[in-house]
Structure 1
Amino acid sequence: MPQIESLRDTLLATPLFAVALTLTAYLLGMGLFRRLGQPTWLPAILIAAVFLAALLALSGIPYPEYREGANWLTILLGPATVALGMPLYQQLPRIRELWRPLVVSLPLAASLAVLYALGIAWLMGASQPILASLAAKSVTAPIAIGITQQLGGSIALLMGGLLVTGVAAIAFVSLLARWMKIKDERIIGFALGLNGHAIGTVRAFEISPTAGAFASLGMSLTGIFTALLLPLAWRLVGVIGMSVTS
């Protein structure tokens, strides 16, 4: 046992082990995802997350130590998000055609994405740190992490919320699109990006480049809108709450 613990500590001393563990889980998830016929309700990232959790549990590696090494991968989220500007530029004429409905729908949808999560959690008796961790669950990770830090929430809980939200968004957007007979890839893509952030955007690119571009637009605008207004609204609600209780 001491030798195993010593080996584990040696491996965790470098971020390469956490990165390799993450990539291994992702490759296993992608392999199983393809074998299952690429079901929309079970994306590869969810399978990879389960594999990663199992690997951490079996190896006895504490999550905080793993996360410290895996932060190198988190740094890449920013450039990857910015790179989505290329398909946006390619689809700019189509985006201009729909700028009015996009401007109207975005604030409503982004606000509802925050309100329903906080409402459900509040009704279930969630504490303020948990509410702060779930508020930005529909925003892409690089922006959501910054928002959650401002609100005083838990990054680990946020990441779980991001995963659940992305997977649920893929399933529900696909189901509702079929039920409502919506075939416009622009609408489907925008809904996936707005509600499912990066996970939904990946799914949108699997549909078509047009859907992916509009998903990128929805994800980007939701992130900007939420980053600008959510911290202000959070402080305002806190001030009002303190005034009422006093």
Structure 2
Amino acid sequence: MNFLENQFFLLAVTFTLFFFAKLLQKRTHILLLNPILITIAVLIVFLKTFNISYETYNEGGKLIEFWLKPAVVALGVPLYLQLETIKKQFIPILVSQFAGCVIGVVTVVWIAKLMGASHEVILSLAPKSVTTPIAMEVTKSLGGIPSLTAAVVVCVGLLGAILGFKVMQLMKVSSPIAQGLSIGTAAHAVGTSTAMEVGRKYGAYASLGLTLNGILTSILTPTILRLMGFL
């Protein structure tokens, strides 16, 4: 049974599960059957069933993690294709991203405080809407728990990917630019990948939302928390 703990075998299992999860969603069109959510759930069952520790799994997982940062950078390609349009709208876009960043940090910190979360947990939740590498670095600088931040970021991304477009339809938000920016700002890379599947324009503006919110969150979060009395 040692082969079950081989990092390349576990890597192959991860990719296989994700492939079939993507196929399942494409066939069923059921939003709740998000490929990332399905893959995570089945992987947890697999690891528990065969008593494989997370540390063992992560030896192979590190190979996936290595490509996370360059994958985020690759999201700049559709962004470049919309560059001329973005230049004409840059000020409104920047203002909307500033508002999204501030509201995103303030609301999660405020709600966590009202629900009795510890100081360390509150600091870990603050950068919840940016992609994992940025969120973890922000949390480290604040003195939070990076592993908790990573888990919350995944949950936020999945929630945005599953419900984001449906919520905007209910709220009568029809502009591809507004929808793309909103998804990228609120649901980072996971939401952006969903936006890419909807259309190039959606994906381009989601990439922009992801990028600007990442920059603004890393710069403004300490100041926002300081003004709120948490630092």
Q: Same fold (TM over 0.5)?
A: yes
Q: Distance in 2 between matches of 1:175 and 1:241?
A: 34
Among 26, 30, 39, the residue aligned to 2:22:
30
Higher mean C-alpha deviation, range 144-153 or range 199-208: 144-153
Distance 1:104 1:132, change over 3 A: same
Taking CA–CA contacts closer than 8 Å with sequence separation of 6 or more, which of the two structures ends up with the larger relative contact order? 2
Distance 1:86 1:178, change over 3 A: same
Higher mean C-alpha deviation, range 214-223 or range 64-73: 64-73
Local SS of the residue matching 1:61: coil
Local SS of the residue matching 1:181: coil
**1:29 and 1:51 in contact (8 A); partners too:** no
In the alignment, what sits opposite 2:12?
20
Q: Distance in 1 between matches of 2:148 and 2:33?
A: 21
Q: Distance in 2 between matches of 1:113 and 1:158?
A: 14
Q: State the AA in 1 paired with 2:41.
A: V
The Cα shift of 1:11 comes to: 2.9
The Cα shift of 1:77 comes to: 0.9
Local SS of the residue matching 1:56: helix
Q: State the AA in 2 paired with 1:205.
A: M
**1:139 and 1:223 in contact (8 A); partners too:** yes
Which is higher, the Rg of structure 1 or of structure 2?
1
Among 127, 135, 146, the residue aligned to 1:155:
146
Q: Distance in 2 between matches of 1:29 and 1:146?
A: 30
Q: Distance in 2 between matches of 1:175 and 1:89?
A: 27
Q: Distance in 2 between matches of 1:158 and 1:169?
A: 16
Provide structure 2 residue ranges, at least 5 long, that are not aligned to the other structure.
none
In the alignment, what sits opposite 1:98?
89
Q: State the AA in 2 paired with 1:113.
A: G
In the alignment, what sits opposite 1:117?
108
Provide structure 1 residue ranges, at least 5 long, that are not aligned to the other structure.
none
| Superposition pairs of residues 225-236 of structure 1, within 5 angstroms | 225-234=216-225, 236=226
Local SS of the residue matching 1:183: coil
Among 62, 66, 69, the residue aligned to 1:78:
69
Q: Distance in 1 between matches of 2:60 and 2:66?
A: 11
Q: Does 1:217 align with 2:208?
A: yes
Q: Distance in 2 between matches of 1:109 and 1:99?
A: 15
The Cα shift of 1:115 comes to: 1.8
Q: Distance in 2 between matches of 1:54 and 1:153?
A: 29
Q: Give TM-score, length-normalised by structure 2.
A: 0.89
Q: State the AA in 1 paired with 2:16.
A: T
In the alignment, what sits opposite 1:191?
182
Q: State the AA in 1 paired with 2:177.
A: R
The Cα shift of 1:226 comes to: 0.8
Distance 1:190 1:35, change over 3 A: same
Q: Distance in 1 between matches of 2:158 and 2:34?
A: 7
